[in-house]
Structure 1
Amino acid sequence: MSGIAPGSGAAPAHPAGSWGAAWSRAMEGAARDTARLARGRAYADTGRGGPRGAAGAGAVSAPRVGTGRVLAYVRGSRARPYRAEWRLPVLSEEEWVAFLTAVAARPVLAAALLDGEVPWDVVSVAQAAGVRLLPGAEDLLPACSCPDHGHPCKHAAALGYETGRLLDADPWALLLMRGRSAEAVRTEVARLGADRIETSAGRPRRRGGGAPPRRSGGHAGGSLCDGRRPRATRLATEVFATSVRPPLPEPQPLPDVASEPGVYPELPGAPDADALAFLAADAAVRARCALSAVPVDAGAGPRRVVDHDPLPELSRWHDAVRLAATHPQLTGRRTLSARFAGLARSVGRDPLELARAAAAWRQGGSAGLAVLEAAWDPPAGDFDRGRSALAGLGIGMTIHRNQLTHTTRPVQLRFGGDGRWYPYRDASGPGPGDRCGSGRDGSADAADWWPEGPSATDPVQALTGLGQR
């Protein structure tokens, strides 16, 4: 593959004569710095080494394809990923007409497209019609939100190599980048093929667009498929040919993490692709919760609750907190993204308030959020026994309702209605005498309590899990 420094040891990622290989050749031809290309390729390969590629720098989020571009977020050295992009020109209306007319004139090739496949032969057919379907080096323009002005930077290069893999898996993405969706291409090929058949038969051509009408005993397109039935029809015939049904396969194992969203096109009048991807990622998280019977309002701890609805109805505020705590594209307490701030504004809250609530949700779900939002008076029993256990270990704590505050350290335990202890830490820094400014009632005039660390049924375990700075 061109553009990679000799001796780099990088094996070709695509077979010769493939969509990914052609894209990578054009991308490498557009590059002005092979060192950044090599770094970008290492980024892309590293990002594919773990679940969702989130283990370190180089992780490339699922590329999103739109008209004239492909973009993704690439994790670099900072917490917030960079937005990388490659742009390319779309085909003109005249080029599309010439290309699709040439395809429709070849029944086998047209049938393959109508069947959902994009054969490599369409490249030579387009070329014969005077249309360059594959982009050249001069067609590709990289862009990235990072401060590196390389052409491309390593983040855009990583996206470029990931796009090559995407095109090998789904060549329709290239047609979308060139200006037409898969549905539009199939509709136009069917129309042009039907017009060609009617013209050759001496019948007047149909007026208007759209797919040809269904014919008795056939499917849209008639002999356009050259005697071949659509894949769906063949499969249906095989399935219903007998009344004997094979046993259902075993369910697939539950993935370790929710899957990445798919590729959403950016089309005029369509919903924003980024917003769709954001909602799809949340839907994947909720779906995994439903499959694993872990309620979406449960925390990230070791608890597994299976005796009630895993997708309960949540208030608007609680659902915003859940999104802030669980959505993979949102940041946490110390780095608040613009999307995070927008989510806070949508429910009339301050971003810092939402961040604190999200920390409580990660700690214990809706039960952890209740501990943050309201103090209460627990009955005699577990609360008193927990306080006695701490005192027996020489840990001095002041008491205020369901809260135990350390007398010398900026830590606190809060007892929840679910019988668990929730650790908190004062983020405002130590007060006079290293007592965090705590008053007799366990509150603090200057304290800034944040949920931190996992909850536990044992107060000593919760305090130990919190650790010390």
Structure 2
Amino acid sequence: MNQTGDPYEKTFAALPPAPGRHFARTWWGHAWLRALEDSALDGEQVRQGRRVARSGAVGAVSVRPGGLTAVVRDRDGTAHRTDVLVQEFSQAEWDRLLGLAAAESGYIAALLDREVPPELAQDAAAAGVELLPGIGDFDPRCDCGEWDHCPHTAALCYQVARLLDQDPFVLLLLRGRGERQLLDGLEARSTANARAQGRNQARTRARDARGTAADAGVAAEQAYAAARAGSPPLPPLPDLPRAPGQPPALDTEDEPDGLDVHAVEFLAQAAAAEAFRLLAEAVAPDHADRPAPAPLTEAEDAVRLTREAGDVRVRSRLAAATGRSRADMELAVLAWGFGAAPGLAALEDDWMPDRATLARARAALAAAWADEEAGDGADEEAPVLRRVRARWTQAGAGRQIRLGREGRWWPYRREEGRWIPSGPSAPDPASALEADPAG
């Protein structure tokens, strides 16, 4: 990367050709490309732009507040000056965004690590600040004469997705603030927040001291001294045990009526293991920065427990308690191993996508094999897939991919008349189909 004379403009050297299928690895890089693909009126221009970017025909990219510029060359070597304009944030929008980021230390730490926390983008959107571009937020300009996205502006956007993967501050520069200016603003706000919090705590201690003095008749100088002393320090965190505790054995000569001793012993051991896991997470240094996981339903927790149970009697009891046959529970356990609760949902949730979700899925399917259909040298042709609700089946191949509600694709294979989970999820349908070991 080369810094220009303007502190708010950066020039990134031309990137090498990008073989393979994907341009973006991060969620914000994918969001950037989704805005391009949803905004363009002509999908063929976008597909051509992807091939141009992949060939390495995009020159050095200049990034400044409100716009991108690069020289993009056609196959015959003709050079085109290409610009894509993006709306800058107003002062009020920057104030709201910086206030949100400074209020959470985890947001600042993530930005310094070149990460964009999805929670920051969600909080900003709730406050009326769209950090990531959406439909219609790109204003393409190219000297080739096209008034909408052309292959040159699309290629520039695809190349910028690779830059965003490496440095999300590129996005914030486009919105109007350079990295140093942004970090200085966050530091100033964090300092102000800390001072305000300290003043509030001092007022609270003084108010509490005055109440104590009035109730117990304490002298004013004693109450003031108590307020100055503050609260005692918190005790240190407990040391993590080496392993979960062992519950007592329930071996008895006479087994109580209606009580499955083996099942109770297993549940006690499973509870000890879960408590150990939760404690390990609680004392981890980054615990406060992790999002809280969604609680499991009883049916989901039964599958999790079954995966841990070695006793066939316990596994049978858990299957019966959830209304599953033994065979169905084994499938559920297999799905859980590939993706926990979302993997289980892909197996059992035969849902119908709404129109918007279905449109995005169709676009992903079309884009996944676009290069092969365009003759870019790939050997594999686009497969013929037939859809039923959120499941696409490859005719005659015994393969299927399922779209989860979370937006990821899950591979399945046909065995003995049943669809079997065959791997973890993938962000796009082609990768899911290719990841199937049966394929």
Q: What TM-score, normalized to structure 1? A: 0.37
- Greater fraction of residues in helix: 2
